[in-house]
Amino acid sequence: MNKVYLLVWNHKHGYDFFGFSSEEAAIKHGVEIMRNNLYEWGEEEEYKEVSDDDLWNSWLDISGSTEYFDVVPLTIDPDVV
């Protein structure tokens, strides 16, 4: 059985979902979204020295509990797809 990794982004407008072949790729995309949001919020300079891991792990606090990211591993049954 193969796995896919679903990146779930919960934000004030609802949910966005993205599928990836690895957990690392899903987290990388989530961090990219986070950094883009910081830019839009005018806070990119404040967090530019923060590592990707630290940004990922502290995003709930950084966003004021308004956004949440999670990676959900899903098994694909090749007989069904």
* 4 falls within a domain: no
* 20 falls within a domain: no
* 63 falls within a domain: yes
* 13 falls within a domain: no
Quote the pLDDT of residue 65: 94
* 18 falls within a domain: no
Quote the pLDDT of residue 77: 81
* 32 falls within a domain: yes
Quote the pLDDT of residue 33: 98
Our count of domains for the chain comes to 1
pTM: 0.90
Report in angstroms the alpha-carbon separations of 25 from 5, 7, 15, 28, 56.
Answer: 9, 9, 19, 5, 13
Residues of the chain with pLDDT under 50: none
Enclosing domain of residue 67: 25-76
Quote the pLDDT of residue 68: 95
